[in-house]
Copies of this chain bind each other. A is one copy, B any other.
């Protein structure tokens, strides 16, 4: 008996669970489907992997197609492989979660594509197992945020410490003491204070910082633990 049997071939999809942060809340990007199957339903973005491309290339392609973005923080979540997960065809999906910075460019692009940001506590019904994917991705983000500073991927390149704190409070769903949070974050030694202030939320203004990727890489390689 040959192990290769044409009947045992699958469609392989990639679905992307895209998170953003709008300065207040953590949000999920949801699309109004404009094509069948499931036309006019809500879903994550996804596509079949083409036979000539790798799974991760497919993920990059999809993200580019739907958001115009490249060089995005994107990681594999897990594979969804239940037999009846797609009633149409036997299809497995390699889900990927992505963290993006919401700016005006993105806002426009996303509208054109018929997409909308939903607060993570208020995600609508999505097709297939996409709600499960969103829940799983959110849980993963919480886990990863515990020991890796992924928060910076969701903020503008320049950000203030109070904004960073708001983001972490959104992820962990709890409040932090401002003094302790600032002390902890600064102790990691991966953000650089700039000579500019952001005055959009206060008269005094808050100093802007930027993330120091090189320093981060150094520390990470030496086994440093960025636990908040």
Contacts and interface: CB of A to CB of B under 8 A. Distances in A.
Interface of A: 3-5, 7-12, 35, 47-56, 76, 78-79, 81-83, 89-90, 92, 94, 146-147
A6 to B, nearest CB: 9
A8 B92 contact: no
A47 B3 CA distance: 8
B82 A49 contact: no
A150 to B, nearest CB: 15
Nearest to A51: B8
B81 A48 contact: no
A35 B3 CA distance: 10
Given A78-B76, A79-B79, A51 B90 contact: yes
Contacts of A4: 11, 48, 89
Given A9-B9, A10-B10, A78-B76, A92 B48 contact: no
Contacts of A49: 8, 10, 81, 92
B55 A92 contact: yes
A8 B83 contact: no
Contacts of A8: 11-12, 48-51
B94 A82 contact: no
Contacts of A147: 146-147
A19 B79 CA distance: 22
Contacts of A7: 51
Contacts of A10: 9-12, 49, 51
A5 B51 CA distance: 10
A121 to B, nearest CB: 18
A82 B94 CA distance: 13
Contacts of A54: 81-83
Nearest to A9: B9
Contacts of A12: 8, 10, 12, 81, 92
A12 B56 CA distance: 16
Residue among A56, A78, A79, A83 with the highest chain B CB neighbour number at 10 A:
A79
